[in-house]
Amino acid sequence: MSESIRRVRRGDEAELVAMIGELAEFEHAADECTVTETQLADALFGPDPTLHGHIAEVDGQAAAMALWFRNFSTWDGAAGIYLEDLFVRARFRRRGLARKLLATLARGCVEHGYSRLSWAVLDWNVNAIALYDGVGGKPQSEWITYRVSGPELSALASRENSESGS
């Protein structure tokens, strides 16, 4: 059985969208997942890519993915990688693919002088938490993640400059 990890390339969009859908279903949020192949292609391969990724293949089949983007630490003065999605298809789990993808991203951080690799995990995903603990990940429990999206994002964007203190 052959395994390999490679960078995402054009033509992977359908497999990636399928895995994103499988991840959304696993996270009990399939109805919230609306990404299309076109959107993903633009994010990955457009003139100013905002997303990067790796695919783990087993015998030529897409078995797992890691989708990520660069961020920046003002305190460290260096870029980092934020892992948006790490997913291993059910039939390929327990082969170490997630750990191999994390190691690939860690190598990328080291090679480029990035100061950190960070991600979030759902508090009920005990298998992922065990993996992340096992690779030396440290929970950042003092931080609370916030998000504004949908109608709230539009409402915030439409507020007057005077309301924002500008």
Q: Per-residue pLDDT tens for 59-71?
A: 999 999 999 999 9
Could you tell me the pTM of the whole model?
0.92
C-alpha–C-alpha distance, residues 49 and 124, integer Å:
32
Lowest mean pLDDT among 69-78, 91-100, 155-164: 155-164
pLDDT at 1: 85
Domain boundaries, the chain: 3-139
Phi-psi region of 50 (alpha: psi -120 to 50; beta: other; left: phi over 0): alpha
pLDDT at 87: 98
Domain topology for 3-139: Aminopeptidase (3.40.630)
- Phi and psi torsions of 158, nearest 5°: -90, 0
What is the percent of the chain where pLDDT is above 90? Answer: 93
